Amino acid sequence: MAAPLNNLRILDMSRVLAGPWAGQLLGDFGADVIKVERPVCGDDTRSWGPPWLEGEELESGYFLSANRNKRSVTVDISVSAGQTIIQDLARQSDVLLENFKAGTMARFGLGPEKLLELNPELIYCSISAYGQASSRADEPGYDAMIQASAGLMSITGPAPNEPGGPQKVGVAISDIMAGMYATTAILAALNARSISGRGQHIDIPLYDSQVAWLANQNMNYLLGGKVPERMGTAHPNLVPYQVFQTGDSELMLAVGNDRQFTSCCEVLGLADLATDTRFTTMRQRIANRDELIGQLEIKFRERDTNYWLDSLLSQGVPAGPVNDIGEVLTDSYAQEKCLVREIRNGKDIRVPSVANPVSFSETPVCYERAPPSLGEHTVEVLRECLGYSDAKIETLKNEKVI
């Protein structure tokens, strides 16, 4: 059966990560994603190496992580002929995705008002630091500064009384989550279009997205009035729920209820703690966190990680090792679930890729196109989608529009 979005065309004018991540997800679900890039240099992340794909210039690991299932077209949107190409493509597309600084697309005659006039059914999705019309719309924004200013770094890293300080997450998670919000918003807008027949403009601010997914930490503040602090690997609402040092490495314990706590205590040979009035309920364990954690830390150091994992998991207590990425991508579970896929690109080079985690029972996820080389599909798209003649395409090349 065909992939779920194989009837849709996405005009992906985004670069770096937030927009490209959304475009890749839509491509995984079968959409025809046309990635528009600057001639010569392309998406900024093409040069964000090493590592590189078998020595290929402009194909960094960073770029390859977010641009699967796309066709690359190079267009200079700063000139009128390039703007005309984008307008022509927008007429033939269901969705346009962009993450330029607010106002940039309108300056080139490619803003939502103009393109929705040309194609009233278009879903036009803009991702920017602070939205399209806020008092901070003109400010630039990158992931790390958004992690810092929108609250994430204030709750990430060692506790305030420990060495270290605020830490950012090891991937550009503000970008990734904005891309996720963009994807769900696009799908919602497409559903609305199926009812109304009209497209619309979607505004996704990185900052607002970051604030939104602070989830329980937001509510802890709104209900309790206390500003959440950094807690290392510990959890503000669950105890014991953190990393423990074992006899040979580390282990993440994730006790989520009183039954699991009782089982955990029995495995550790500390059954009396489960009936200690300081620890019998989650509320009590939170109030007496330090006393409990101190006793567990001593016990966990007595045996190695594998021993504790086998013992805890056999009793239904959630726990896991602290694996590095190499271990994650090469262990037996990764092989069983095919978490690493290989797709051959246009040069017949095998490109590794990490699988989309979604499994549909009827409509498969696509792994049809490796991330494209710069401008690989320019001629193909202009011929196929727009019906441009060979003479017109040659003129555009000579004028360096494409």
Q: Are strands 70-74 and 95-98 parallel, antiparallel or unpaired?
A: unpaired
> What does the alpha-carbon distance between residue 117 and residue 121 come to, in Å, rounded to a whole number?
9
Residue 298 sits at φ, ψ, to 5 deg, of: -65, -45
**Cα distances (Å, whole numbers) of residue 22 to 50, 221, 309, 316, 337:** 24, 30, 37, 36, 23
- Residue among 41, 47, 37, 42 at smallest CA distance from 11: 37
**Which residues are paired to 8 by β-bridges?**
none
Question: Which residues touch 391 (CB under 8 Å, ≥6 apart)?
Answer: none
At 33, the amino acid letter reads V
The residues facing 98 across adjacent strands are: 126
d(CA 360, CA 9): 21
Cα–Cα distance, 301 to 7 (Å, whole number): 57
Would you please indicate which residues are annotated as catalytic (active-site) residues? 175
Distance CA 296, CA 1 (A): 52
76 and 386 Cβ atoms separated by less than 8 Å: no
Instruction: Let me know: does 225 contact 218? Beta carbons within 8 Å.
Output: no
